[in-house]
Structure 1
Amino acid sequence: MSTEMTVAFWLPEGNERFRATLSTQGPWNPSFQHGGPPGALLVRQIERCSPRPDMMLARISIDILGPIPITTLHAHARVVRPGRSVELLEATLEHDGRAVMHASAWRVLLPTTHPASVDEPEMPPQLPAQEFTSVIAPEWACGFLEATEWRYVHGNYNQLGPATAWMRMRHPLLPEEEVTPMQRLVLTADSANGVSSPLDIRSWQFIPPELTLHCLRPPVGEWICMDARTLMQAEGTGLSTANLYDERGLVARSAQALLIAQRSKVEKDSRKA
């Protein structure tokens, strides 16, 4: 294993440039990243852009514009629509001057007087005491799954269908930098399509070109629970959704549109290379 994988997901190189480590590697092709680490990096850039401690990110939308190589990339953010109560921000991840991922986020003013809760808090399932230790199928093996710890309530990457799992990052996003709650949330949510897929990864692709989260509050603690399921129609596309919890209750809901396609022999052989 590369020593880079044990340090962080990204290594800063200055001037808004970041080098991806093998911990960002996804399952579809060993040369490209999982969507979670670059999505979390763009959230980092958004949070550092004209920061507003009196606001929180209420909706985060991420578009994957192409395969994201495991190399040095440029990530920058800007305020699109400034405001006193609501603001729209965007961030872009670029490789050789070409955008490979785009994120937008609405941040809203936190209330100074808290309203009474209308609904009973939606509590999460209990965090299992033991880490999931079963060997996953070789097709799922990647740097990202090695860099994250999983504890399953039910289901897992070896089973088809809905799943509920607690996940935490083994390493920080950047060396010696505290991971923020929203970075952790985005990095976790992008796995909903994989953990809950009803299709066999050896024969099918179910790749999300986007991820959208609606957030109730920032999560607390290092563990995020994802209660995920994927719906598909034979004549259409797929939709992965998840309820996301910390140990206090529901914090967000996510959705991903999916590209569904049968894998070709050429594509399968490239994954094994």
Structure 2
Amino acid sequence: MARSSTPRRTVVKDFPPLSLFARDGETYVPTTATPGPWSPAVCHGGAVAALMAHLLEEASTPELESLRFSLDFLRPVPTAPLKARVRPVRQGRRTHLIEGELLASGAVVARGTLLRFRAADSGMEPRSHLSDAPPADEPGDFAFHDAIRNGNGHRQFMAGGIEVRVPGGDTFVGARAGWFRLLLPVLPGVAPSPMVRVAAAADHGSGLGSLAHPSEARRITYANADLAIHLARPASGPWVRVEATSRWSAGRSGLTNSVISDAMGPLGVGQQLVAIEHLDLPAFNSRTTAAATA
């Protein structure tokens, strides 16, 4: 339910920004590198995923490896001060499970969990039913995607927060495959972990795997309601490759499956449930902005 007074959108104005978020006491303030493509008032899911993964890892010990991450988007995450609640669920000898929430104006807007394993050398060679060969393409084989020039014009995560490379460069939606490189840390001076980089990239699967026809570009939305990542090993290097396929029902739902790789080869999978809605973009923008400030 909307509040009687609309809270002011608070985005760190420094440009170029030094990080995705700035710490202000107990809150995390989005910078101009966090908005999504639909509206400058709403954070991109990849930026939210990166923040949540960072906060959950921060509550654990560094020698463990983050191998499963899940995130539920309960409502649009505004580009406004966010508070976090993080709680260790289990801290065993071999695994840690941590859960957390992000809140805006007192309301929970996102909820996440992280499962971490203690690394140990078993002496066994890696095994797989599938090919472990490196991807057939490299980041340099794809063209830079200028999200500002090809999108709605405002500063956003896909331009200032993460580098996006897709075949041809101009068309991201439905490109199926892309390479991603996080350009900024989540917070100033904190190097992104492998899971933070993967989470920031994997959220793009629903866009890469979109089944919307070009003629529907301004009449259909496909926002993912969640993000689930399972990895066999941590990512290596700054670049993460996401290759997505989708299945959309005749109703208003869909499922995107992504293969997540680095330069060495496949390392895991991502899944997203997608909420599909037919509408015109200006109406969606006004409704999204209203929801973000509710």
TM-score normalised to the size of structure 2? 0.83
- For residues 85-140 of structure 1, the C-alpha deviation after alignment (integer angstroms, 9 at most, x for no partner) is 22221011111222111101222232332322222524223214264256754348
Q: Which runs of 5+ in 1 are unaligned?
A: none
Aligned to 2:101: 92
Aligned to 1:47: 57
Is the contact made by 2:241 and 2:260 (CA closer than 8 Å) also made in structure 1?
yes
**Structure 1 CA distance, aligned partners of 2:146 and 2:54?**
33
**Structure 2 CA distance, aligned partners of 1:157 and 1:78?**
42
Aligned to 1:34: 44
Aligned to 2:28: 18
Instruction: Quote the sequence identity (%).
Output: 26
Is the contact made by 1:8 and 1:174 (CA closer than 8 Å) also made in structure 2?
yes
Instruction: Report SS of the residue matched to 2:273.
Output: strand
Aligned to 2:263: 247
**Structure 1 CA distance, aligned partners of 2:125 and 2:196?**
28
**Structure 1 CA distance, aligned partners of 2:258 and 2:170?**
15
Instruction: Report SS of the residue matched to 1:184.
Output: helix
Taking the TM superposition and a 5 Å limit, the aligned residue runs for 1:103-122 are: 103-119=112-128, 120-122=131-133
Residue 185 of structure 1, CA deviation? 0.5
Q: Which runs of 5+ in 2 are unaligned?
A: 1-11, 290-294
Equivalent residue letter for 1:175: P
Instruction: Report SS of the residue matched to 1:81.
Output: strand
Aligned to 2:165: 151
Q: Kindly tell me: are residues 9 and 90 of structure 1, through their superposed partners in 2, closer, same or farther at Cα, counting changes over 3 Å? A: same
Q: Does 1:132 align with 2:141?
A: no
Is the contact made by 2:173 and 2:207 (CA closer than 8 Å) also made in structure 1?
no
Aligned to 2:5: none
Is the contact made by 2:227 and 2:270 (CA closer than 8 Å) also made in structure 1?
yes
CA-atom RMSD, angstroms? 2.6
Q: Kindly tell me: are residues 238 and 51 of structure 1, through their superposed partners in 2, closer, same or farther at Cα, counting changes over 3 Å? A: same
Matched residue pairs, number?
270
Q: Kindly tell me: are residues 146 and 266 of structure 1, through their superposed partners in 2, closer, same or farther at Cα, counting changes over 3 Å? A: closer
Q: Which runs of at least 4 in structure 1 moved beyond 4 Å after TM superposition?
A: 133-136, 139-142
Equivalent residue letter for 2:41: S
Equivalent residue letter for 1:125: A
Equivalent residue letter for 1:149: E
Q: Does 1:198 align with 2:208?
A: no
